[in-house]
Each structure stands twice: as C-alpha cells, then as structure tokens.
Amino acid sequence: MARIQRDETPHTAWCARDHRCGLDEHRSAAKVVAGGTGRAVVTRVRAGDVEYAEVHLRIPLSRREDTARTQLATLLRLLGQLLDAVIARPYAVPGRGERPAISRRAA
C-alpha cells in the first residue's frame, strides 16, 4: 500500500486557521456574492505552492428548455470572458483602478 507523505505548511496571513485548513492546504473563509436568486461562493486556497480561487456557482435556470439552454450558453460565454479578465488582464477589469468620476473633467 502506497503511503502519501505530506509536509505541514504554515498558515497564511489570509487563511481561516481552523478546521478548513489541512496539513498542506490552507483555505480562507468563504465570501458569498448574491445576485437575484443565484449566488457565488468564493474561497481562496493555497495547496502546496499553488494558489487559486475556488468558485461555486448556483444559478437558477428557467423551466423552459429553450430559455435554460440560452441561459447556459450565456453562462459559458461570460465565464470565458471572466476567466480571461481575471487571469490574463487583471488590471483591465472594470471597477478596478478606474475612477471615471474622479478623472472626468468638468465641461
């Protein structure tokens, strides 16, 4: 029987420092974003030397099959845009670093 050897890693500045952390995995408290009847739960995770955001989405779908398919197509398209914005262009995300009301000149 193979035995998995894992080295304990210290807690981070942002992890929950409780039962959510493991020997070599540290997890933040979950942040919940609600919109309409849907919600997203985001957790920051460090596993070994890799760090990532874990996102769980719950999005209600229409009972009408054609509308549900449209909703799923929209979800897939926007998730692709979201991943691109967060991973490839983190400083281009609207609302981050942009302060149009301050930079706008009075006419």
Contact residues toward Zn ion (CB under 5 A) are 11, 15, 21, 26
Per-residue tokens: 4? 């998995």
Q: Which is nearer to Zn ion, 45 or 59 (CB)?
A: 45
Q: Which is nearer to Zn ion, 45 or 61 (CB)?
A: 45
Least CB distance to Zn ion at residue 31 (A): 16
Least CB distance to Zn ion at residue 29 (A): 11
Least CB distance to Zn ion at residue 47 (A): 11
Q: Which is nearer to Zn ion, 13 or 88 (CB)?
A: 13
Any idea of the CA torsion for 37, 52, 48, 9, to the nearest 10 degrees?
A: -70
- Give 45-48's long-range contacts (Cβ < 8 A, gap of 24+): 46/9, 46/12, 46/15, 48/9, 48/24
